[in-house]
Structure 1
Amino acid sequence: MTTDRPHLLVVVPNRITGDSRVIKTALAASRAGYRVTLLGQARRKRLETSLDDVRVVRVPIVRTHHEAYLAAMRTVTGRRSPIAYHGPSEAAEAGARLGRHRERRLSGARGAGRLAAEAELLARRLVHRLRRVGAGRETVVEPDVSPDAVQWRRDWPILVDWQETFGPVIEELAPDVVHSNDAIMIGVTAEAVRRMRAAGRDVRWLYDAHEHVSAVDWGTEARSAVYRQYEAEYIHQADAVVTVSDELAVALEQEHGLAARPLVVRNVPIRHVDTAGTPRLRDVAGVPADAPLVVYSGYLEARRGVATLVEALPLLPSVHVALVTSADPAAGTLGEILASARALGVADRVHTAPYVAPYQVPAYLASADIGIFPGLRHPSQEDSLPTKLPEYLHARLPLVVSDLRTMAEFVRRTGVGEVFTAGDPESLAEAVQKALAGQQEARAHITDEMLDDLSWETQSRTFADLYARLAGRRPEPPADPSPWEAVETGPDGTPVVIN
């Protein structure tokens, strides 16, 4: 042990708020004795706040290269109206990127040949879209574009903008260890570390892969190829690789030919935390005390399969559903789900409820009867245990899950709930009925030993040990550590909420 405090920089390509993994990572490192800075994205100007002992820095991304790219695409595709850009995953970008991809594929074609080529591309695109929004039973996505056919610096220059915006800030903050989260930050960190080492600084970094990049739909086939190429270019430069499940660790090791299997740190709740004052979900949603309540908590998109849950409700006449989400009820996926509930005559049993602070989630959900994840089959969902499942377990809720490989195996092995066929409302309804009838037995299988293993206090020890190995020294934990319930505050000490 030493009183020297290595400086850990945790970097993430989002606005930090709501990213429970990076917030818990920063607090755990501070509690382990590290000097911690958390770096994320701001909307318009640089912001600095504090999360107890953790320094929080947010900077806006400057889209110099990408704006030029968009202007060029408008010229190539003949678009006259501006294309709004709000981030690398926005649907507005898909049209511009598809236009460029079409032009490359159609270059050189003339007359009837050009029309035939365009018809072929449209047909391929339609088939691909139907595959993605259908019953969801596919386990493999066959991309139309190989990573060898793209150049990320040319074909998705927002990644260059990320490097040029965040790289100098990383160098300015002068860390000893960088914890790089998600694929967007892998190149940002690698290039910044390379420059710092060239300048004589001894700095190490780790790549924390939150998802299987090769299995994620990044909006277009070409863009998905870009992200696969981007990760492959930089992953071998990391001093260590960490991920969220054993299954994903094996996939990354095999896919990239890594010298060592990535370490696994599951994204799980903090177990021992003060949740006094946390509201009850049943009260917030307005569900009667004697009504069976199934909860889905988290991000909403078609692949999460919540539509299947609503379609099952006519077969579950007494069951209520609570959707814990920040989504707009008048638009997007949530709007479609609520419209479906109205059409099916079950709208009075579908409720929405807001998020609470990450450390409060299990206590918030505990008044429900069942926690559900009805995800459709897709490669990006097969290889990890969704964060919401440990949250349900810490709330002592039996689980109902679709037959996605990793979570289905977990539920069957541990006996904590029921499994149904993904995308099948009848199978889902049967599983919910069985889970409600077998609540007592399932809850008995949610043991203290299981919850200790699936706790952040346990899982984050791997990070603390890895930081010490990379930094070459282990600091002394503080006598008065940052509380897990820490609230972000501004320079004047007043609480702030950054959206």
Structure 2
Amino acid sequence: MLVDNAVKGDSRVQKEARSAAAAGWDVVLLGKSPNKKAQNWQLGEARVRLLPVATPLHRRRHEYRRAVLRAPLAYPPGPLAEYRKQRMKAWRAELNLRVIEAGRSGSGTASTRLWPARVLSRGMGRWVRLRARHTAALERRRKEMDGPLDRFTTAFWVRAMGERAWRRLDPGLWDLELAYGKVIDALEPDLIHANDFRMLGVGARAKLRAEAKGRTVRLVWDAHEFLPGIKPWSPHPRWHIAQCAHEREHAKYADAVTTVSASLAEMLAEHHGLQDLPEVVLNAPDTVIPPDRAAEPVPDLRALCGIGPEVPLAVYSGSAAPQRGLDIMVEALPRLPGSHVAFIVPRANSPYMQSLKARATVLGVRDRVHVLPYVPHDQVVRHLAAADVGVIPIHHWPNHEIALITKFFEYSHAGLPLVVSDVRTMGATVTATGQGEVFTAEDVEDYVRAVTAVLADPGRYRDAYTRGDLLGEWTWEAQAAVLDRVYSRLVEGPPAPAARRMTRVAP
């Protein structure tokens, strides 16, 4: 099983690895080390190995070369510009000190002799600063790549190389291949489960190498998102083009595709011309606790916020980014007297979270905004259950419209009334089930209306979870069975399921 992160923050991958191992598969989960050091641990019966990934190819080739025609005054790429600036400052400081020493000794002649050097240092300083400005401007242009020459070269490589253009547009994808490839080959797997678009290429190339040696390896591609519709993770204008080309090149090597929603399955089948519709494995939470985790205490959400049970508390749990719309929860607080919000996010001090805290300070509600760390994925539901409202304020992006995301299921199993933006799939589901309120994305006034309605009569929305079997299929156990069937269909002689002794979750 392959993933391009450090595993611990990825609940889907952890659940996949743990449940597959519990079903009898010999699972090795390869992830990316966050600190350049190899790490190993057990995740239930699955083995986790984090690999150090060197990134010299992260910078494009032209970033290592001088731009003699575009910026003739710029310094060569690297630390030379900063070195020159610092060296000139040191020279000026030294000359000033020598003048002071000459004054103390009463030597006017020495001070006069230093005058030419001081004039030269000022001139040289201006020259160095000029070249440093040209260097900084060149670096900005190379990052933005919005000039006519940049647009031409990008279009040229796409036209000339097609799906293979990612090799020129984002050669950093090779860094992942060079870190994972030999490890995969040494394991000699029968099946490779590649999570998301960057690991798809790594898994496909490992499959091809194995087949060249006479071994049959099956590849499962687990598509978490519709890549053409995502907000790019990187601001570099070539990044998204490269990732899409990389995915198109390698999708044809997948023996089976799984994904997170029926809508996304149809979009993937059409976009990549897949013969079979991908299997849907929802991002549903565990409803049972593995024996090795059952005794672990669950952090008290309200205690971490420093509030009692009577205080209204809205919670957001998940990745934090502008397109997630978290700012609306802060902006609304002055209109929701006494209410608090909790953000449970992977990086409490990220620039985005810092901006939200700064805005809360300006609005005078900083004491009602709480930024908390993740808890283990098998504690999330119980941790969230102490809140009054689960909020999903995401903006309208193509990828946000098509799936019920992880936190939707986590909030549901925690029994929380929901307040969600009017993205297509989640908005329609909440309207149909009656488990919450839908508001117009990015509309503070409508968000306040929705939260106010939920807080006024929470029992009405919580009752939706007791009608019928709303949560029946929204469990990881049901999804794990789907994944196990996919594996068994691809690999002959599937293992006998291992015994699973679990403790059921009670929010």
Smaller-chain TM-score bracket? 0.7 to 0.9
Asked if residue 376 in structure 1 is aligned to residue 409 in structure 2, the reply is no
Partner Cα separation in structure 2 for residue 445 and residue 193 of structure 1: 46
Q: Secondary structure at the match of 1:35?
A: coil
Match of 1:443 among 451, 462, 473: 462
Task: Give the deviation of 1:347 after TM superposition.
Answer: 1.7
Q: Secondary structure at the match of 1:247?
A: helix
Q: What is residue 248 of structure 2 aligned with on the other side? A: 232
Report the counterpart of residue 9 of structure 2 in structure 1: 18
AA of the residue aligned to 1:188: V
Return the offset for 1:425: 0.5
What whole-Å deviation, never above 9, does each CA across 1:381-407 have from its counterpart, x for those lacking one?
A: 111112111111111001000001111
Instruction: State the distance in 1 between where 2:443 and 2:228 align.
Output: 27
| 1:477 has 2:497 as partner | yes
In structure 1, the partner of 2:22 is: 31
Q: Are residues 1:404 and 2:418 paired?
A: no
Aligned equivalents of 1:387 and 1:106: distance in 2?
Answer: 37
Say whether the 8 Å CA contact 1:146–1:225 is kept in structure 2.
no
Structure ranking higher on relative contact order (CA contacts 8 Å, 6+ apart): 1
Superposition pairs for residues 194-233 of structure 1, below 5 Å? 194-218=208-232, 219-233=235-249
Q: What is the match of residue 115 of structure 1?
A: none
**How far 1:220 moved relative to its partner?**
3.2
Q: How far off its partner does 1:74 sit?
A: 6.4
Task: From 67, 72, 75, give the equivalent of 2:64.
Answer: 72
Task: Report how far residue 422 of structure 1 moved.
Answer: 0.3
1:259 aligns with 2:278: no
Residue 480 of structure 2 corresponds to which residue in structure 1? 460
253-262 or 57-66, which deviates more: 57-66
TM-score of the pair, normalised by structure 2 = 0.79
Counterpart CA distance in 1 for 2:142 and 2:405 is 30
Backbone CA RMSD of aligned residues: 2.7
Alignment partner, residue 159 of structure 1: 173
Opposite residue 233 of structure 1, the aligned amino acid is E
Does the 8 Å CA contact 1:48/1:58 hold for their aligned counterparts? yes
Q: Where do 1:23-422 residues align within 5 Å?
A: 23-42=14-33, 43-67=35-59, 69=61, 71-72=63-64, 75=67, 78=74, 82=78, 98-100=143-145, 102=147, 104-105=149-150, 148=159, 151-218=165-232, 219-273=235-289, 274=294, 277-329=297-349, 331-422=350-441
Distance 1:199 1:155 in 2: 31
C-alpha spacing 1:429/1:182, structure 2 compared with 1 (3 Å): same
**72-81 vs 393-402, greater mean Cα deviation:** 72-81
TM-score, structure 1 length as denominator? 0.80
Q: Whose Rg is larger?
A: 2
How much does 1:99 deviate? 4.9
State the one-letter code of the partner of 1:45.
K
Q: State how far apart, in whole Å, the 2-side matches of 1:204 and 1:418 are.
A: 44
The answer to whether the Cα contact below 8 Å between 1:182 and 1:208 also exists between their aligned partners in 2 is: yes
| 392-401 or 58-67, which deviates more | 58-67
The CA deviation string for residues 199-234 of structure 1, in whole angstroms up to 9 with x for no partner, is 011110110011111112322332111111111111
Assess if the C-alpha contact under 8 Å between 2:392 and 2:420 holds in 1: yes
Query: Residues 14-70 of structure 1: CA distance to partner in whole angstroms, max 9, x if unpaired?
Result: 111111111110110011111111111123233332223212112112334445636
Q: Deviations over 1:260-297 (max 9, x none)?
A: 21111011110122476212211111123211111111
Paired position in structure 1 for 2:82:
none
Q: Is the 8 A contact 1:341 1:350 kept in 2?
A: yes
CA drift at 1:356: 1.0
Aligned-partner Cα distance in 2 for 1:154–1:45 = 28
| Structure 2 counterpart SS, 1:217 | coil
Partner in structure 1 of residue 128 of structure 2: none
Alpha carbons of structure 1 residues 161 and 474: separation in structure 2 relative to 1, 3 Å: same
| Ranges in structure 1 where 5+ consecutive residues have no aligned partner | 1-9, 84-93, 109-142, 486-499
Q: Work out the CA distance in 1 between the residues paired with 2:439 and 2:463.
A: 21
* Aligned positions, number: 431
| Partner SS for 1:323 | strand
Q: In structure 2, do the counterparts of structure 1 residues 407 and 344 end up closer, same or farther at CA, with 3 Å as the change threshold?
A: same
